[in-house]
């Protein structure tokens, strides 16, 4: 039985661990935190539950190929309750409630009634959504791999994707903001710019909208910890071991092969190592010398990290009459860390039992923008906590433009900055996904490095834009590579 060490117990590391263990390897995951899941996480403060990871899950629907992968790794089970909120998002614009309905027909009717002069643009929008609906991450097996059970490639699924694939290239050349600019109604423009970052290519916009339209992109009741704990539970049931609170400081390479790791100052030998920590950080920090072979140069050069700050608050008020995912223009735009915000968005968890004490609610928001240096400067000057508090107050006051009286009711709050993600997950530049501006390449990076045997990479960086689907799938791919190299049967 070959021994495999996995660096990182996030979604990618746990997935790699489950598949490696099922395939007969003796697998140990080293996770520097005391809990599994990495960025797929949430935390409690004074009775409030702050969902700080999953907002929507690709593959939550049983109709998607990825669903079986989530089930195999223990993230989902037949008992999982998937919440597919509809409308998925609501833009409050000058007294109008503009809903992002999942069904393109319903969306079309609503937008036409709202803005008849946008008729042709609305027809195009909903036509593209329908064309993109069959598009999904194909789940396949590596060529030449011995498998216990074949990949869940649905018959004809690839054929059905062809109309969408022919649109990926042209839409991939324009920004979401430019696509949205064709609408005359400013509320529709704002709604579309809120789906994915406005600098992302428009193919990402349609991939996301079509995902919702297909009934996918749900939220798993119990949130990120439930998902991560399910995976960690499956891994340990299979005999895998997780060493929590133990950080790997070095991957040891001897005679052109990964030979083990250094953790807690001790050398732990292994036959293979899977690096499931952020690959962009790992290639520069976890080896005696930065890895410069193969794809690593391209990853360093091409990756534009998506950087965000997460703000959450517990509110002593019942906000269940408000929508779950609300976008609105600000009466008083603000600037923070060099980024200007003219609109705001909140996620409202009032409808989720157990997320707040009786009669109370949780609001969260994700502020996009590279504020890494701003926070670093604040920390260096001893202003970190003060800046966090200022940011919370700014957000609370802006939310208060919509929700009167919020200021006196936001009882508990927290802010996770890019430095938090760097410290908690070892994330490169505090980032947990990769930007996909027009023209960017989304081809997956190979999971092996030429000249170093027994070394595999997994994680969200392995295919832009990343996120949980890429993390889980890359973990599966790393385990398949491992099986192929060691002559083991996968699964």
Which position has the token pair 């609501």? 90
Range list of H helices, 202-321:
202-213, 223-237, 279-285, 296-302
Binding mask 24-63 for ligand FAD (x = CB under 6 A): ------xxxx----xxx-----------xxxxx-x-----
The residue among 10 and 454 lying less far from ligand FAD, judged by its C-beta, is: 10
Q: How many CB atoms lie within 10 A of CB 446?
A: 14
The residue among 45 and 247 lying less far from ligand FAD, judged by its C-beta, is: 247
Q: Does 414 bind ligand FAD (CB under 6 A)?
A: no
Which residues 449-468 are close enough to bind ligand FAD by CB under 6 A?
459-460, 466-468
Binding residue (CB under 6 A) for ligand FAD from 425, 435, 455, 482: 425
In whole angstroms, the minimum distance from the beta carbon of 70 to ligand FAD comes to: 11
The residue among 110 and 440 lying less far from ligand FAD, judged by its C-beta, is: 440
Q: Are 4 and 274 in contact (CB under 8 A)?
A: yes
183-207 b/e with 16+ CB inside 10 Å = b? bebebbbbbbbbbbbbbbbbbbbbb
Binding residue (CB under 6 A) for ligand FAD from 115, 417, 427, 448: 427
Range list of H helices, 238-367:
279-285, 296-302
Q: Does 426 bind ligand FAD (CB under 6 A)?
A: yes
How many Cα atoms within 13 Å fall on the side-chain side of residue 146? 8
Q: Does 363 bind ligand FAD (CB under 6 A)?
A: no
In whole angstroms, the minimum distance from the beta carbon of 246 to ligand FAD comes to: 7
The residue among 7 and 274 lying less far from ligand FAD, judged by its C-beta, is: 7
Q: Does 305 bind ligand FAD (CB under 6 A)?
A: no
Q: Does 247 bind ligand FAD (CB under 6 A)?
A: yes
Q: Does 8 bind ligand FAD (CB under 6 A)?
A: yes
Q: Are 178 and 439 in contact (CB under 8 A)?
A: no
Residue 121 tokens read as: 């643009």
Parallel, antiparallel, or unpaired for β 82-83 and 339-348?
Answer: unpaired
Short-list 103, 266, 251, 91, CA closest to 183: 91
Enter the DSSP assignment of 93: E
Q: How far is CA 405 from the centre of its chain?
A: 33
Q: Does 322 bind ligand FAD (CB under 6 A)?
A: no
In whole angstroms, the minimum distance from the beta carbon of 462 to ligand FAD comes to: 8
Residue nearest to ligand FAD (CB): 10
Q: Does 17 bind ligand FAD (CB under 6 A)?
A: no
The residue among 121 and 276 lying less far from ligand FAD, judged by its C-beta, is: 276
CA dist 18 to 54, 240, 457, Å? 20, 8, 15
3 state SS of 182: coil
Return the ∠ at Cα 445 (arms to 465 and 449), rounded to 5°: 145
Binding mask 273-302 for ligand FAD (x = CB under 6 A): ---xxx------------------------
Binding residue (CB under 6 A) for ligand FAD from 90, 311, 471, 482: 471
Short-list 227, 425, 222, CA closest to 310: 425
Cα separation, 469 vs 473, whole angstroms: 6
In whole angstroms, the minimum distance from the beta carbon of 453 to ligand FAD comes to: 21
Which residues 174-203 are close enough to bind ligand FAD by CB under 6 A?
none
Q: Does 139 bind ligand FAD (CB under 6 A)?
A: no
In whole angstroms, the minimum distance from the beta carbon of 426 to ligand FAD comes to: 4
Size of the site for ligand FAD (CB under 6 A): 39
Cα separation, 363 vs 267, whole angstroms: 45
Which position has the token pair 């027994």? 454
Helix and strand totals (H; E) in the chain: 16, 21
Q: Does 314 bind ligand FAD (CB under 6 A)?
A: no
Cα separation, 371 vs 376, whole angstroms: 9
Binding residue (CB under 6 A) for ligand FAD from 140, 366, 377, 397: 366
In whole angstroms, the minimum distance from the beta carbon of 176 to ligand FAD comes to: 17
The residue among 27 and 32 lying less far from ligand FAD, judged by its C-beta, is: 32
Q: Are 234 and 24 in contact (CB under 8 A)?
A: no
Give the residues lining the site for ligand FAD (CB under 6 A).
Answer: 7-13, 30-33, 38-40, 52-56, 58, 247-248, 276-278, 310, 366, 425-427, 432-433, 459-460, 466-469, 471
């Amino acid at each position: 039985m070959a021994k495999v060490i996995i660096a990182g117990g996030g979604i990618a590391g746990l997935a790699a661990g489950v598949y490696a263990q099922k395939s007969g390897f003796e697998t140990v995951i080293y996770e520097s935190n005391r809990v599994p899941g990495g960025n797929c996480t949430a935390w409690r403060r004074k009775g409030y539950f702050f969902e700080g990871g999953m907002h929507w899950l690709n593959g939550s629907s049983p109709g998607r190929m990825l669903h079986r992968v989530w089930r195999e790794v223990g993230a989902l089970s037949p008992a999982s309750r998937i919440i597919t909120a509809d409308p998925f998002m609501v833009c409050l614009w000058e007294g109008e409630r503009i809903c992002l309905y999942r069904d393109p027909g319903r969306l079309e009717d609503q937008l036409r009634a709202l803005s008849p002069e946008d008729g042709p643009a609305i027809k195009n929008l909903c036509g593209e959504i329908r064309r993109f609906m069959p598009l999904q991450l194909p789940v396949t097996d590596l060529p030449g791999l011995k498998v216990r059970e074949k990949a869940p490639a649905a018959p004809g699924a690839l054929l059905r994707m062809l109309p969408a694939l022919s649109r990926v290239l042209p839409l991939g050349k324009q920004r979401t903001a430019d696509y949205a600019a064709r609408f005359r109604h400013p509320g529709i423009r704002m709604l579309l710019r809120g789906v994915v970052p406005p600098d992302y290519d428009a193919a990402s916009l349609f991939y996301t909208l079509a995902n919702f339209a297909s009934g996918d992109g749900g939220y798993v009741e119990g949130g990120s910890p439930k998902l991560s704990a399910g995976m960690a539970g499956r891994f340990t049931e299979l005999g895998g071991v997780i060493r929590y609170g133990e950080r790997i400081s070095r991957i040891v390479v001897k005679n052109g092969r990964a030979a083990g790791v250094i953790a807690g100052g001790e050398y732990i030998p292994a036959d293979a190592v899977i690096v499931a920590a952020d690959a962009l950080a790992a290639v520069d920090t976890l080896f005696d010398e930065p890895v410069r072979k193969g794809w690593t140069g391209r990853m360093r050069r091409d990756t534009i990290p998506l950087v965000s700050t997460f703000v959450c608050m517990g509110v002593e008020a019942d906000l269940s009459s408000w929508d779950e995912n609300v976008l609105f223009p600000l009466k008083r735009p603000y600037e923070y860390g060099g980024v200007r915000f003219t609109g705001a968005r909140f996620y409202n968890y009032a409808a989720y039992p157990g997320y707040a004490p009786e009669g109370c609610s949780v609001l969260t928001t994700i502020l996009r923008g590279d504020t890494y240096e701003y926070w670093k400067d604040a920390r260096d000057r001893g202003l970190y906590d003060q800046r966090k508090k200022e940011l919370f107050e700014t957000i609370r006051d802006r939310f208060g433009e919509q929700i009167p009286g919020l200021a006196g009711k936001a009882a508990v709050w927290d802010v996770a900055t890019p430095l938090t993600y760097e410290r908690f997950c070892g994330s490169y530049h505090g980032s947990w996904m990769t930007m996909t501006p027009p023209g960017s390449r989304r081809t997956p990076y190979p999971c092996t490095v030429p000249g170093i045997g027994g070394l595999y990479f997994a994680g969200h960086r392995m295919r832009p834009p990343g996120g949980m689907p890429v993390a889980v799938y890359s973990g599966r791919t790393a385990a398949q590579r491992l099986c192929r190299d060691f002559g083991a049967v996968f699964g």
